[in-house]
């Protein structure tokens, strides 16, 4: 995909499998939104093709699609329930069913009393809930969500992720663009990490984690960590550390070192490299490697 003489997506190949949650990840400007827009025919790729069910995307195809775009926007001067019902009708729902679905959704997301309010009177997060409702209306078989939880507080983020997960559990295929690596670990089956428009990593979350680091320990502690021997801290905060084990060092050896050094171990979780660390390895710098 090129804009003028600038190539922003290059040599990219990936597939999303039916019924999975697929994470499209990458630093700002790496080409995620461009890829989705090319898939939906908003941009015409300079070369190559993107297919849905083996064919170029067809708005009138025999599958339904819900797209939450990066740039949000509904008819802000209209009433919430009217807007939702209108979009439901555009998706082919009967007016009464669309209105009923919308009211039910508004209640579920804590906006049951906002049906007759104008969208402009809602907070940013509340408007976003409405927009997500419009996206998942009538249970599309393919959901493409561009940063669905951007700007949500933790309680509402949880609520929204539960809604997305419920769609997947009911059979939808979900493609999610997100910068929240904890969401990736919780939700995604497989991921693609884009870097400068190319696939930097592609596979299941576990495969990607394993290819960017072996043993990792998440440690809550009090005291002072001893000099590293066979391990190094990737993240070191006052009472929390993420520690990478060198090849040949096992978690038990680290635990012994900590106890011998008088560190109070509050929790010790030997796990895979976190997706956040994978992201930092690919796009960022590591502690001790100088400022970005
Ligand atoms: N319409 C356009 N014309 C020219 N360049 C564009 C256009 N759309 C995107 N780009 C460029 O393409 C690159 C990829 O942008 P894109 O929006 O796909 O990134 P992204 O991975 O979605 O980023 P973010 O995480 O910041 O949303 C950027 O360098 C951007 O400036």
Strand bridging mode 21-26 / 173-177: parallel
| Residue nearest to ligand 1 atom 12, measured at CA | 8
Nearest CA to ligand 1 atom 7: 3
Question: What CATH number does the domain located at 2-209 have?
Answer: 3.40.50.300
Quick one: how far is CA 72 from the chain centroid?
17
CA–centroid distance, 196 to ligand 1, in Å, is 10
Backbone angles phi, psi at 154, to 5 degrees: -55, -35
Examine the pLDDT at 178 and tell me if it is beyond 60. Answer: yes
CB 246 within 8 A of CB 264: no
* 35 Cα nearest atom in ligand 1: 18
CB 259 within 8 A of CB 222: no
CB 133 within 8 A of CB 105: yes
Lowest mean pLDDT among 68-72, 153-157, 259-263: 68-72
d(CA 142, CA 254): 45
How far, in Å, CA of 273 to CA of 243, rounded?
Answer: 9
- In whole angstroms, how far apart are CA 58 and each of 13, 14, 54, 65, 250? 20, 19, 11, 10, 52
Q: Which of 78, 87, 134, 86 is nearest to 106 (CA)?
A: 134
Q: Which long-range contacts (CB under 8 A, 24 or more apart) does 223-229 make?
A: 223/261, 223/262, 223/263, 223/264, 224/261, 224/263, 225/258, 225/261, 225/263, 226/257, 226/258, 226/260, 226/261, 226/263, 229/257
CA–centroid distance, 76 to ligand 1, in Å, is 26
Q: Which of 16-30, 133-147, 207-221 has the lowest mean pLDDT?
A: 207-221
pLDDT tens string 109-125: 999 999 999 999 999 88
What separation in Å is there between the alpha carbon of 67 and the centre of ligand 1?
Answer: 18
Pocket test for ligand 1, best of 23, 24, 31 (most atoms within 8 A of CB): 31
Question: With a 6 A CB cut-off, is 26 part of the ligand 1 pocket?
Answer: yes
**Interface ipTM:** 0.93
- Take atom 16 of ligand 1 and give the residue whose Cα is closest: 31
Helical pair 80-90 and 95-108, crossing angle rounded to 10 deg: 130
Instruction: State the pLDDT at residue 142.
Output: 92
Atom of ligand 1 at shortest range from CA of 26:
21
pTM summary value: 0.80
pLDDT digits (tens, 9 = 90+) for 124-169: 889 989 999 999 998 899 999 999 988 889 999 999 999 999 999 9
Query: Domain extents for the chain?
Result: 2-209, 214-272
Whose CA is closest to atom 6 on ligand 1? 3
Q: How far is the CA of 150 from the centre of ligand 1 (A)?
A: 18
288 vs 30: which has the higher pLDDT: 30
CB under 8 Å to 125, separation ≥6 — which residues? 151, 152, 153, 156
Q: Which residue has the higher pLDDT, 259 or 207?
A: 259
- For 181, residues 6+ apart whose C-beta sits below 8 A from its C-beta are 274, 275, 276, 278, 279
30 lines ligand 1 (CB under 6 A): yes
User: Do 2-209 and 214-272 come out as alike in CATH topology?
Assistant: no
Cβ of 28 below 6 Å from ligand 1? yes
- Give the pLDDT confidence score for residue 285 in this predicted structure: 58
Ligand 1 pocket test, candidate residues 33, 40, 199, most atoms within 8 A of CB: 33
The structure tokens listed for 120 are 């402009």
Q: Which fold has domain 214-272?
A: Alpha-Beta Plaits (3.30.70)
């Amino acid at each position: 995909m090129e804009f003028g003489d600038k190539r922003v997506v290059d040599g990219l190949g990936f597939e999303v499998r039916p019924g999975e949650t697929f994470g499209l990840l990458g630093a700002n400007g790496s080409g995620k939104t461009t890829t989705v827009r090319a898939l939906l025919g908003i941009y015409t790729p300079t070369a190559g093709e993107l297919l849905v069910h083996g064919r170029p995307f067809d708005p009138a195809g025999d599958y339904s699609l819900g797209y939450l775009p990066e740039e949000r926007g509904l008819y802000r001067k209209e009433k919430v329930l009217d807007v939702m019902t209108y979009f439901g009708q555009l998706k082919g729902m009967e007016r009464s069913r669309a209105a009923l679905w919308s009211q039910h959704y508004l209640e579920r997301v804590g906006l049951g009393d906002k049906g007759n309010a104008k969208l402009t009177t809602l907070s940013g997060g509340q408007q976003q809930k409405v927009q997500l409702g419009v996206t998942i209306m009538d249970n599309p078989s393919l959901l493409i969500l561009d940063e669905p939880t951007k700007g949500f507080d933790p309680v509402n983020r949880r609520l929204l992720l539960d809604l997305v997960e419920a769609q997947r559990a009911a059979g939808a295929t979900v493609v999610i663009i997100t910068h929240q690596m904890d969401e990736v670990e919780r939700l995604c089956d497989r991921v693609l990490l884009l870097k400068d428009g190319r696939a930097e990593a592609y596979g299941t979350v576990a495969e990607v984690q394993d290819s960017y680091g072996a043993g990792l320990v998440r440690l809550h502690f009090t005291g002072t960590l001893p000099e590293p021997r066979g391990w190094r801290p990737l993240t070191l905060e006052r009472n929390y550390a993420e520690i990478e084990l060198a090849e040949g060092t096992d978690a038990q050896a680290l635990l012994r070192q900590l106890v011998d050094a008088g560190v109070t171990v509050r929790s010790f979780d030997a796990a895979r490299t976190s997706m956040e660390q994978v992201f930092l390895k690919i796009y960022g710098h590591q502690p001790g490697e100088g400022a970005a």
